[in-house]
């Protein structure tokens, strides 16, 4: 490989309050990583639980009618964290009139510069990136922004495969029962993801058991409770961390981007304020804001760092060694592969998505 080149596919532009932007991928060199940056601005009221992720319903890589990659904003943040081991570049703020943004990286190989796995536009007829969004009522009008960049590899033969991630199924979680999701058996699995998001709902109460089985029980890859899966998440990846600006009222619960929030460190912007945070419930942090005399305070701007597990309420199961394709899960050996999820509470936005090494034409 000669070197990398940074290619601007779409210079930052202001887009409408909702819509779909289609960007042609007119590059000849293989793309090892693509990044999409999306931003918006809060209106004149405190904007709780409406980060940039919630506005982006879908980002797709397509070639004609073939969809190679498809995730929502929240799913993208989770995938990026599991791929990178750190939170995507971001500036989250729930403070009135402040801007916020997030930049999602799509890594098409096992690492940056992977010459075996990358997205090769020249192998496709008309590769395009499609971004679909709709701002929340708590965001200002006419201020959404979009930017797309690519890191290409020079002097490399275009790889015939890329690590691509796509939603298999989305649904609303039910109050009770077992949800069975049929998974594809075309290409090996590198990672399997499943998520359930509900504002005000603890993820451990929404789902209680996870089972991956092949050919009606011929092979059971895992059969684990929510807590057992949490332990696996921490063993494999440790804890996630991100920062955010929020307006704090004393003794009010704040809902985080983490299915299980372990800790929150706070820094008040206002003089004369003492702040702290306690994780009394998974996913929530109770914010404390007092003056030096111990009196409660309201609408105090805090810089908060949250740490915990299950980013964007998304579990991830890794197959084999991440850098060794020979150890990934060869699902083609089986006629049926199902993820069975035991549900306990209704109202969650649920989805299952999978990362596979997908051949390009």
Q: pLDDT tens, 88-114?
A: 999 999 999 999 999 999 999 999 999
Quick one: how far is CA 48 from the chain centroid?
19
Confidence (pLDDT) at 203 = 84
Mean pLDDT score of the chain? 95
Torsion sign over Cα 342, 346, 348, 351: positive
Cα Rg of the chain (Å, integer): 21
How far is Cα 118 from Cα 346, in angstroms, rounded to an integer?
A: 39
Confidence (pLDDT) at 138 = 97
Confidence (pLDDT) at 15 = 98
Region 26-48: what's the mean pLDDT? Answer: 96
Share of the chain above pLDDT 90, in %: 89
Q: Shortest CA distance to 27 belongs to which of 121, 105, 113? A: 121
More confident residue, 221 or 252: 221
281 has pLDDT over 80: no
Contact 126, 68 (CB under 8 A): no
Three-state SS at 101 = strand
What is the set of domains in the chain, with CATH numbers?
Answer: 3-159 (2.70.9.20), 164-361 (2.60.120.730)
How far is Cα 94 from Cα 99, in angstroms, rounded to an integer?
A: 9
205 has pLDDT over 90: no
| Phi, psi torsion values for 103, nearest 5 degrees | -125, 115
> H or E stretch including 78?
helix 73-84
How far is Cα 331 from Cα 52, in angstroms, rounded to an integer?
A: 35
Query: CA 169, 353, 236 angle in degrees (round to 5)?
Result: 145
Confidence (pLDDT) at 11 = 98
| Phi, psi torsion values for 245, nearest 5 degrees | -100, 130
64: left (phi over 0), alpha (psi -120 to 50) or beta: left
Three-state SS at 72 = coil
Query: CA 3, 8, 10 angle in degrees (round to 5)?
Result: 160
Confidence (pLDDT) at 103 = 98
Contact 309, 233 (CB under 8 A): yes
Note the pTM of the prediction, 2 decimals.
0.96
More confident residue, 203 or 189: 189
Contact 210, 352 (CB under 8 A): no
Region 327-331: what's the mean pLDDT? Answer: 98
Contact 258, 309 (CB under 8 A): yes
* 38-86 pLDDT, tens digit each: 999 999 999 999 999 999 999 999 999 999 999 999 999 999 999 999 9
More confident residue, 149 or 200: 149
Confidence (pLDDT) at 278 = 85
* Residue 150 vs residues 1, 64, 226: alpha-carbon distances, Å: 17, 21, 37
| Phi, psi torsion values for 10, nearest 5 degrees | -150, 115
Quick one: how far is CA 292 from the chain centroid?
39
């Amino acid at each position: 490989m000669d070197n990398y080149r940074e290619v601007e596919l779409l210079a930052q532009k202001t887009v409408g309050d909702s819509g779909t932007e289609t960007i042609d991928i007119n590059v000849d060199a293989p793309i090892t990583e693509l990044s999409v940056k999306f931003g918006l601005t809060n209106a004149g009221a405190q904007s709780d639980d409406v980060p940039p992720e919630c506005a982006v319903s879908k980002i797709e890589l397509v070639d004609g009618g073939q969809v190679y990659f498809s995730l929502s904003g929240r799913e993208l943040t989770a995938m990026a964290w599991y791929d990178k081991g750190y939170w995507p570049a971001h500036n989250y703020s729930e403070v009135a009139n402040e801007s916020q943004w997030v930049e999602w990286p799509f890594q098409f190989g096992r690492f940056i510069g992977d010459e075996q796995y990358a997205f090769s536009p020249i192998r496709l007829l008309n590769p395009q990136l499609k971004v679909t969004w709709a701002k929340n009522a708590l965001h200002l009008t006419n201020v959404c922004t979009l930017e797309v960049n690519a890191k290409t590899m020079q002097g490399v033969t275009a790889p015939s495969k890329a690590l691509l991630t796509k939603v298999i199924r989305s649904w609303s979680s039910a109050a009770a029962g077992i949800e069975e999701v049929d998974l594809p058996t075309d290409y090996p699995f590198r990672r399997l993801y499943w998520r359930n998001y509900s504002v005000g709902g603890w993820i451990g109460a929404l789902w209680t058991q996870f089972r991956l089985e092949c050919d009606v029980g011929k092979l059971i890859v895992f059969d684990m409770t929510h807590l057992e899966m949490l332990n696996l998440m921490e063993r494999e990846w440790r804890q996630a961390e991100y920062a955010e600006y929020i307006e704090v009222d004393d003794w009010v619960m704040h809902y985080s981007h983490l299915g299980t929030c372990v800790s929150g460190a706070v820094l008040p912007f206002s003089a004369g304020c003492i702040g702290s945070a306690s994780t009394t419930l998974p996913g929530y942090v109770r914010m404390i804001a007092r003056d030096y005399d111990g009196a409660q305070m309201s609408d105090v701007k805090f810089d908060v760092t949250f740490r915990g597990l299950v980013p964007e309420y998304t579990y991830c199961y890794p197959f084999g060694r991440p850098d060794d394709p020979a150890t990934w899960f060869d699902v083609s050996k089986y006629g049926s592969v199902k993820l069975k999820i035991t549900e306990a509470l209704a109202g969650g936005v649920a989805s299952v998505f999978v990362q596979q090494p997908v051949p390009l034409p």
